[in-house]
Amino acid sequence: MAISGVISAIVIGAVIGVLGRLIVPGRQHIGVLSTVLIGIVAAFVGAVIAHALHVDHTKGVDWIEWIIQIGLAALGVAALDRYKSRH
């Protein structure tokens, strides 16, 4: 993967993390860096899942892949928030 691909993945991951955080109701007690890291992980894992389901290459926008990634980010944000609120 070229450096431009890595930078793109980080930027897209940050957007995914923010969108995932917006889906989770209420106030989250996690920082911006945690949100971005969760988004990056969700973007990569979601891309792997979309590839396994053969929905990663469609004509136009890959909506199913985006939904998977944002859903994973929302789960990650909720899980980390719950973990941090208990400790």
Range of 68's domain? 3-86
Name the one residue in this structure whose structure tokens are 């980010």. 73
d(CA 59, CA 45): 21
Q: How confident is the model at residue 23 (pLDDT cuts 50, 70, 90)?
A: very high
DSSP class per residue in 36-48: HHHHHHHHHHHHH
Flag whether the pTM goes above 0.75. yes
pLDDT above 80: residue 2: no
**Given this model, what pLDDT does residue 1 score?**
56
Alpha-carbon dihedral angle through residues 75, 85, 37, 40, given to the nearest 10 degrees? 0
Q: How confident is the model at residue 20 (pLDDT cuts 50, 70, 90)?
A: very high
pLDDT above 90: residue 77: yes
* Domain count for the chain: 1
Which H or E run includes 56? none
Name the one residue in this structure whose structure tokens are 């400790």. 87
